[in-house]
Amino acid sequence: MKYKREIYYKNVMVQIFRDPWSPFKERHPELITDVIEENVQKMMGCGLFKNGYFLYMCSRCGEDKRVAFICKSRFCLRCAKVYIDNWVNKIRKTIFTRVLHRHVVLTVPGSLR
């Protein structure tokens, strides 16, 4: 049986948060809202087999493969990419297809904010 490797160890955000997250929460509880805690926990559990997985089996050779569930959180770098790609595709379908679009980012000086 071949298993797709858990993506937990590839996620840079998980590596950054793994060790210092608990001490940070203890030192600064006023900064951690329920939404922040929920998204950090989702991100840290993203791609772990213990949180569930799909099992695919080849009908010809009988080989099977596990693929861990993802968190689908916008905070998780891996899942945010999927979220953004889906959003872009949705927006692309709603705008005029024959109009050339340009993406412009404007910044406002700090003194005017």
Instruction: Give the pLDDT band of residue 88 (cuts 50, 70, 90).
Output: confident
> Over the stretch 48-76, which tens digit does the pLDDT of each residue have?
888 899 999 999 998 999 888 888 887 88
Q: Shortest CA distance to 81 belongs to which of 46, 35, 105, 49? A: 46
Per the prediction, the chain carries an average pLDDT of 82
pLDDT of 10 strictly over 80: no
Percent of the chain with pLDDT over 70: 88
pLDDT of 11 strictly over 80: no
Tally of structural domains, the chain: 1
- pLDDT of 56 reads 93
Owning domain of residue 10: 2-112
